[in-house]
Amino acid sequence: MANGQPLTNLSKTTIYHDVGKGLIKHKDIPASSPNGGGTVQETMSLSVKEGETIKITICVTATDSHGREG
């Protein structure tokens, strides 16, 4: 967690991406354990025009059972 405390009530992990237009939610992944410790793997496909260069930012958050995302 952001405050350094261990997870005890993880509800889900959320993956966002940004290609310069702000964060867009890609996917919510339900927690397999409320104490965390799992592994998340996800494949993302984004279209890019030939010869175009874009910067992609990926953001991953954790949400607890009270709906607090961080």
The answer to pTM > 0.85 is no
What is the residue range of 15's domain?
A: 10-41+51-64
**Structural tokens at position 9:** 């009530």
In a domain, 69, yes or no: no
Query: How many domains are there within the chain?
Result: 1
Tell me which residue of 30, 29, 26, 28 sits closest to 56, measured CA to CA: 26
Q: Is 58 helix (H, G, I), strand (E, B) or coil?
A: strand
In a domain, 18, yes or no: yes
Question: For the segment 15-25, what is each residue's pLDDT rounded down to a tens digit?
Answer: 999 998 899 99
In a domain, 3, yes or no: no
Question: For the segment 25-67, what is each residue's pLDDT rounded down to a tens digit?
Answer: 999 999 988 887 778 888 988 888 999 998 999 999 999 999 9
Give the integer Cα–Cα distance in Å for 57 and 46.
12
State residue 1's pLDDT score. Answer: 52
